[in-house]
Structure formats: structure tokens, C-alpha cells
Chain A
Amino acid sequence: MMVKKIAQTLTGLWSLVVGLRVTGKNFFQPQITVHYPREKVESIEGYRGHIELVPKDNDPFTARCMACGSCARVCPSGCITLHIKKVTEPAVSAKKEDNSQKPEQNNQKAAPAKKTKTKRVLEAFELNYNYCSLCGLCVQSCPAGGLRFSDNVYLAGFSRKEFEFDLLARMRAQKEGK
């Protein structure tokens, strides 16, 4: 009992020396932080900014989003509001080009046809970033892979209004900018 206790204390003391060695080694190793305004980090891979919509591969102005609303349902903070318009169109129609820009025209054209199908079209994707906790559940739950994290490290603003985004408009504005 006594011997065991002393042995325990000695190993404890040795662990103190090991601890000192670890911090001592780190003291002499180069720093891993950067002096921010003068230097910047090279890669921000893995950074989680607010979410953004992923455009379709063949059409950069249309989102992959199919307006199912599972992101809005799963969001624990209720940041996401989807504005969806139900569009009736012929089942055979495969017109991609004016789907996104003129949904009303589509609607009128499709109305007279007998064989119709109701489609949900995304009009606006409202994100209230003020309440977002960046948990990423929306990104995980999206069945179309239509959401990802943006990488704007320098996002800043003076009022809450500046953190309420319409992600669809943002995506289009970005593409037009490019």
C-alpha cells in the first residue's frame, strides 16, 4: 500500500518533468500564427462562412435547389425561409432555357396542355444569418447537394439587416459579376 502510493507519486513527479519538456520544446519551435494585417493565411480550406446555393453544372444562373424545403425544416435556428412558386407545365417539356428567368411565361404556355405536372420553382432563398449557428445540418440534409459553405472570411456589417441575405439573388449577382 505504502510502496504503491510512493511509486504513484514518483510517476506523477516524472509526468511533471515530461510536461515541462513538452512546453519547453514548443517554446523554441517556430510560431504557427500570422501577424494578420501584414500577413494572411494561404489557405482557408474548411472555413465555414454562411451557406450559399450551388449552381447547376450546365447553367450557372439556376440553382441545383429543387425547393423541397428540407433545409428550412431541419434548421434548428429557423434561419431559412424558402419562397416557392408552384408551376404547372407540360410533363414532356424539357425547356431549360427560360425556366429560371421567365416562370410566368412558362405557366401561360403550359396551361392549355392537358398532360400537366406541378413543379416547385424557387423564387427566393432567404437566409437570416443573425441566428445561424453554422451547424451545417442544412448542407447535410440537402438531397440535391445544392448548399455549401461560402468562404468570405471578411464578412462584416453595421446592422442586422446586412446579414439577411437572399441567396438566389446573391448567386446570380456573383455569376454576373464574373
Chain B
Amino acid sequence: MINLPLPLIQILIGLIGILAFVGLNGLVLVYLERKIAGHIQRRPGPFEVGPHGILQPLADAVKLVGKQLITPKGADSVLYWAAPIISFAPAIVCFLPLPFGPKLTNIDINVGLVLILAFTGLNVLALCLAGWSSQNKWSLLGAARDISQSVAYEIPLLLSVLPIMMLSGSLNLYEISTSQGAWPWQWHIIYQPLGFFIFFICILAETNRAPFDLPEAESELTAGFHTEYSGMGFGLFFLAEYSYMIVACAMASILFLGGFNGPIVSGWWWFLFKVYALLIVMIWLRWTYPRVRFDQLLNICWKWLIPLSLINLLVTALFIKL
């Protein structure tokens, strides 16, 4: 028997668990998204494959895996196929420091918050490469939009996270979770309602969700940066988008909603409940609001969110010092 060091084994098991979790979540979220969209529009949503269409996402996944991978003429094939992998791989890393439960943290790293913020930033690079290497005007426009959007919204995102770091005095996600109590009035959202509001808007923009889905605006850019991708190239982008949604909602629930702490018995069930509740709100928002125009998108960020988050930060600092 080979003598593997213990942390390596732990990381390997964690990675396998996370990959399974991400894949399963992809299926569940696709189904949820389409069902909620259907019911909001007074129609049943997927209904034919399996009881109430529950096997529909599985059928879609099989279709995507089975499709031919086509590299468009004139595309830079190395960058073109590297892009979906660069988009998906950091999403997996972001799951490692998340404390799912009191004893369910894969890597107890003391800069977990920074790690997640840094690795989610890599997605911009992937989308940029995808748009640039596709040799397609829509892809390029989508990539250009994504970069200016992500760069703009990263600022209020970080500024809304800073007060939480001040309140809990740590960058470790587990310690941030445990610094909050079990009941809703002991959570950070009570002290930081504005911070939560700004954070939630920013994660909508960072994950390219409607109403901020300009990089893949269907009605204007066909599919934006992933217009040319077929089969699992598109599938990976899709999976990455849903993974980032989960990471973002997990961050929101750890930072503002007490993480795995919950009334009666704390545990991973509370964490998953909060994450899914936030995901459902995200889906609900998508099927309610129309897409914003690009100048509106940047106006919201530079004229409202950044000044508000700066004020929020200053006021929090003042109260902590007093």
C-alpha cells in the first residue's frame, strides 16, 4: 500500500465529493429553474421525461455529452478549448474552504474568504478567452461586456464583504460562521442589511444572472461568449455558471445568514436550506425582471452601489471603534 499523506487523501476525497455535489446540483438547479420559470408563466415546465419531467435534466446532460465538439473555422483551438476548463476548474476550488457543517469543512484555511474571491475572479479570464478565441463578433462583444461588468461589480462586492471581516475579525469562513448565533437576530444581516443588499446585487452581476445577463444576452448576442460552443464545451460553461451561483449563495449565507447555524439543531441542513432559498430567490428574480441596458448596469454600480458600500463601510468602522 502506498503511503499517501493524510491531507492529500482528505483533499482527494473532498474533491470527489465536491464534483459529485456540483454535478448533482447542476441537474437539480436546471430542473428547478425550468419548473419555476414554467409556473411563473402559468405553464407546467418540463413534464414528459419521467414523472413531472424529473428526468429531463438527465436527458439534456446525456444529449450534451453525446454531441460532437466542433471548433469553428479561424478559431484559436488551444485557447478555445482551454476556456471552458479555466471557467470550470476554479469553481471546484471555491468549494474547498466552504464550511458545510460544524465538522464538514474540506480545508480549514484561514484565508478562505480571500481564496474564494480570488478564484471566482478567474472566471472573467475564461470568458474573455472564450470570447476572443471564438472568432465571432457576438462572442467578442459578450466577452467585452463581461469584463467591464465584472471589473465594475467586484468593487462593491469587496466593499460589502469588508464590514463582515471587521465584525467577525477573521477571514476564516468557519470562524465567520461561528461568530454568529443560531437565531436570525444574531446573524450579521441584522447589523449589515445594506451590506447584504449590495452583496446580493453584486453576486447577481458577477454570476451573469438576469437582470444582469448582458454577456450572454440572448436577444442581442445569440448566446454571447459561448455562442460557438457545442456539446460539453457549452456544458462546462453551464455547469460553471451554476457552480458559481452555488458558491455565491453559500458565501451570502455564511457571511450574512449565519452559515450552518440555525434554530434548534445547527448543521449542514440549515446551510443547504439557506443556500437553496437564496438560489430560488435568484431564479425568481430572473423570471421577473427584464435585462438592464449596459449604461444602466454601470450606473447602478458606480453611482449607487460603490458610494453606498463606502458609506456602509465607514459607518461600520465608526461603530466598531466606539
Chain A partners chain B: yes
The residues of A with any CB-CB pair to B shorter than 8 Å are 9, 16, 19-20, 22-24, 26-33, 35
Task: Give the residue of A27, A30, A32, A35 whose beta carbon is less than 8 angstroms from that of B40.
Answer: A27
B64 contacts chain A at the CB level, 8 A cutoff: no
B44 contacts chain A at the CB level, 8 A cutoff: yes
Q: How far is the CB of A35 from chain B (nearest CB, A)?
A: 7
Leading 10 A-B pairs by shortest Cβ distance: A33-B43, A23-B288, A32-B42, A23-B40, A27-B39, A19-B288, A27-B40, A31-B42, A26-B40, A20-B288
The CA-CA distance from A98 to B44 in the complex, in Å, is: 57
Q: How far is the CB of A40 from chain B (nearest CB, A)?
A: 16
The CA-CA distance from A29 to B39 in the complex, in Å, is: 8
Residues of A within 8 A of B289 (CB): 16, 19
Interface residues on B, range: 10 to 19
Residues of B within 8 A of A24 (CB): 284
- Contact of A29 with B42 at beta-carbon distance under 8 Å, contacts A9-B304, A35-B47 already known: yes
B81 contacts chain A at the CB level, 8 A cutoff: no
Residues of A within 8 A of B285 (CB): 20
Residues of A within 8 A of B287 (CB): 23
21 A-B residue pairs with CB within 8 Å: A16-B289, A19-B288, A19-B289, A22-B288, A23-B40, A23-B287, A24-B284, A26-B39, A26-B41, A27-B39, A27-B40, A28-B39, A29-B42, A30-B42, A31-B42, A31-B44, A32-B42, A33-B43, A33-B44, A35-B44, A35-B47
Main secondary structure on A side of the interface with B: helix
Additional 8 contacts, C-beta under 8 A, given A23-B40, A27-B36, A27-B39: A16-B289, A19-B289, A20-B288, A24-B284, A27-B40, A29-B42, A31-B44, A33-B43
Q: Assess the B42–A26 pair: CB atoms within 8 A.
A: yes
Main secondary structure on B side of the interface with A: loop
B42 (CB) vs chain A CBs: closest residue:
A32
Residues of B within 8 A of A26 (CB): 39-42
The CA-CA distance from A35 to B270 in the complex, in Å, is: 37
Q: Assess the A31–B304 pair: CB atoms within 8 A.
A: no
The CA-CA distance from A157 to B47 in the complex, in Å, is: 28
Q: How far is the CB of B280 from chain A (nearest CB, A)?
A: 10
The CA-CA distance from A30 to B43 in the complex, in Å, is: 8
Residues of A within 8 A of B39 (CB): 26-28, 31
B285 (CB) vs chain A CBs: closest residue:
A20
Q: How far is the CB of A28 from chain B (nearest CB, A)?
A: 8
Residues of B within 8 A of A20 (CB): 284-285, 288
Q: How far is the CB of B167 from chain A (nearest CB, A)?
A: 25
The CA-CA distance from A24 to B44 in the complex, in Å, is: 15
Which residues 33-71 in B have Cβ within 8 Å of A in the complex? 36, 39-44, 47
The CA-CA distance from A26 to B39 in the complex, in Å, is: 7
B43 (CB) vs chain A CBs: closest residue:
A33
Q: How far is the CB of B248 from chain A (nearest CB, A)?
A: 19
